[in-house]
Amino acid sequence: MTNRAHARDFVRRDPHRPGYHFLPPANWMNDPNGFIQWRGEYHLFYQYNPAGPWHGHIHWGHAVSKDLVHWQHLPIALAPTPGGPDEEGCWSGCAVDDNGTPTLVYTGVHTGVHPQVVCLATGDSDMRTWRKDPANPVIAEPPAHIRHRTGGHFRDPFVWRENGRWEMLIAAKIENKGSVILHYRSDDLRQWEYMGTFLEGDVRQIYPFWTGTMWECPNLVDFGEQRSLIFSVQANPRDHLYVVHYTGPYRDGRLHARQQGILVYGGYFYAAHVARVADGRHILWAWLKEGRSEAACQQAGWAGILSLPLELTLGEDGEPRLTPARELTKLRRVHRRFAGHLPEDAIRWDTAGGSLEIVARFAPPTGEVGVVVLAAPDGSEETRIVYRPELAQLYLETNDSSLAEDVDKNVQVAPLALASGEELELRIFVDQSVVEIFTNRACLMGRVYPTRSDSVGIRLIAGPGATGPVTLDVWHLVPNTLFVV
């Protein structure tokens, strides 16, 4: 057995390794990059370190799929070039169709006064072979007015076509002031004209959320008259990460944001990347960081996964909405259903499993309701998903999720105000160490690491005053179906 095959076999035995979320065969993964539909196939790229489960020496990993759920890993697309503008790493970017030529636009990292630059690579017709452009870097430094005030932060190009020309957003930083997203324009992807500031932040802004010291991975999503600027707020990366949106009309090259908010709650969802596919849907991926120690990741041989593929739409209230991609239903197998009435009826399945999709529907809540997942029969380990109507909040409580000491144990909260008489729906995806929750409006995600092999149970929560009908649908999702080596 080769060393690579041995490594794959080793990490597969990790009970915390997800079965149907996308992740590389082993080692480190972070941001999704360059998602694109090309000649009937979906191509997904991602930040990858082939040397081990830590962030460093970043390459672009590459996989292909015909249906968004069954993936084949391909050879690495981009690797650092010694002595080149990306010698220290090929960091985040995007993929575009340049008149029939697949083109990657990415961040090159190197040593120098301005260590982060914009580079290009072009692919052959089946996107298996990539060549770096001889013009690299196509943008060698930030614009003059902030050139020596960025602290080296100038990255994550996002490119789209508008009125026959290429447009680009780049994330940067102005030291002692805050984040800034810069706007560029080009006719050929190689000669870029700086158009000005697209959006500027302020480290003093704390409402409706703290905008952090650096914005990353900007994406501009076109909903017609409305657009959403989506970017990731770099706060304390070891504690809390989040993705936000600024949404409003787009006129004369400017976004007139009327609404802003957090896209997904929980602190693990980051570096969202969006692309429009042939049927008109906007598909979004994000990185889900680990919630365990670096030593545990080293021992496991892998770190980081991607979220489920998500459909991004604009709600009637003008707020972006995320729902799991419809293709995920292909993973459903064994189905169990419960229908009852709270508080008279109860449900508890101690052997439900660790790779599940759960849909729980509650009558308009009159008291605390929810679902417990990944529960041990004696309750020594369990993860609670609870809605408290008096607070209009959804909770992901992981403080009892694991007996291990080196994993995150916390309570994450998402606002969720239901209208009068509105039913509560919780659509929950459980995948070994991942919990993704989609509700009427809010999304909440987390990481959990139960230690017991029998921590696979589920049950309903019905607090004092909770009454009314409830249904619970549970599907076993096929382990490893999404992961084809």
Q: Which residues are catalytic?
A: 31
Q: What is the DSSP letter of 397?
A: E
Answer yes or no: are the C-beta atoms of 242 and 280 closer than 8 Å.
Answer: no
What is the three-class DSSP state of 465?
Answer: coil
Helix/strand/coil (H/E/C) assignment for every residue in 306-330: ECCCEEEEECCCCCEEEEECHHHHH
In whole angstroms, what is the distance from residue 444 CA to residue 395 CA? 8
Q: What are phi and psi of 187, to 5 degrees?
A: -95, -20
Residues 6 or more apart in contact with residue 212 via CB below 8 angstroms: 179, 201, 203, 233, 234, 235
CB 298 within 8 A of CB 53: yes
Spatial distance between the Cα atoms of 31 and 48, rounded to a whole number of angstroms: 8
Antiparallel, parallel or unpaired: β 192-200 and 178-186: antiparallel
Sequence-distant (≥ 6) Cβ neighbours of residue 248 within 8 angstroms: 226, 227, 255, 256, 257, 258, 259
Q: How far apart are CA 311 and CA 313, in angstroms?
A: 6
Query: Which of these, 299, 269, 274, lies nearest to 407 by C-alpha position?
Result: 299
Q: Report in angstroms the alpha-carbon separations of 214 from 178, 266, 361.
A: 7, 19, 39
DSSP three-state, residue 271: strand
Q: What CA–CA distance (Å, rounded) separates 7 from 22?
A: 17
Burial grade of 87 (CB within 10 A; 0-12, 13-18, 19 or more): middle
State the amino acid at position 204 in one-letter form: R
- Cβ–Cβ under 8 Å, residues 475 and 328: no
- 265 φ, ψ (degrees, to nearest 5): -95, 160
Q: Is the distance from CB of 211 to CB of 178 less than 8 angstroms?
A: yes
| Gap between the Cα atoms of 92 and 247, Å rounded | 23
